[in-house]
Structure 1
């Protein structure tokens, strides 16, 4: 059995051509958002030239990886796995919701639910699912 000190779990997002755009968009939403490293496909390589071969970015202290798959798949993201954001105040939840909603799909509109006084769940325009919760 491996020891916990040597393991690390990182969310890995696979896109088909929009990883760079999604990563830049997501890092713009959080004050500490940053692109850590990006490797792109070059001329004559397996993937489309200029798309993301592999990238690492951070949001709210959490590290993520993403790629643009060189192979087309019959699947994409699903809301059964989502990014859950605990928002510190009303301004933050409104900001994130207003930025993530356009071109996406509302799963639960911002509102008061039994488990939260202010909560919203949506798929953004890239298909990634987000749950926004006001602490």
Structure 2
């Protein structure tokens, strides 16, 4: 039996923009369902926010996101989690890196590390921290 880990991102009113951004970075298929679509509206002002969304690519990238309803506590946090993207090709990882850092903040510049030929950490314009690296030959 195998399992698959998928990162789930929680936003407050920014899930649609975040999903569109990640779709632009990684490609693949973007799917989104609003609270209205699901007939789960509890606050009319949030009806068109995302209740469930995902971006999935044939290359293996998969992320989910939703807008936390206003009635629930939510704190973006400083660095509540990391999303790790590991690949085989430096060119591919570098391409993702360049797109993710647009409007974001570099935490650790992309470069060689003791465990990887290429590693970096960036906080994107939505406050999500990404760790990108190339798998070490082994």
Instruction: Return the alpha-carbon distance in structure 1 between the equivalents of residues 97 and 62 of structure 2.
Output: 21
Shift of 1:20: 0.9
Q: Tell me if the contact between 1:97 and 1:132 (Cα under 8 Å) persists in the aligned partners.
A: yes
SS at 1:94 equivalent = helix
In the other structure, the counterpart of 1:23 is 19
Shift of 1:8: 6.9
1:89 and 1:125, CA in 2 relative to 1: closer, same or farther beyond 3 A? Answer: same
- TM-score scaled by length of structure 2: 0.74
Instruction: Return the alpha-carbon distance in structure 2 between the equivalents of residues 77 and 27 of structure 1.
Output: 23
Gaps of 5+ in 1: none
Instruction: Return the alpha-carbon distance in structure 1 between the equivalents of residues 106 and 68 of structure 2.
Output: 26
Alignment length, in residue pairs? 128
In the other structure, the counterpart of 2:63 is 64
Shift of 1:131: 0.7
Shift of 1:64: 3.0
In the other structure, the counterpart of 1:39 is 33
* Aligned counterparts, 1:40-119, within 5 A: 40-42=34-36, 45-46=42-43, 47-59=45-57, 60-71=59-70, 73=73, 75-79=75-79, 81-119=81-119
Gaps of 5+ in 2: none
1:45-74 deviation per Cα after TM superposition (whole angstroms, max 9, x unaligned): 425242212223324435432111222745
Instruction: Return the alpha-carbon distance in structure 2 between the equivalents of residues 126 and 14 of structure 1.
Output: 11
- TM-score scaled by length of structure 1: 0.76
Instruction: Return the alpha-carbon distance in structure 2 between the equivalents of residues 124 and 113 of structure 1.
Output: 21
Shift of 1:101: 0.6
Instruction: Return the alpha-carbon distance in structure 2 between the equivalents of residues 18 and 109 of structure 1.
Output: 26
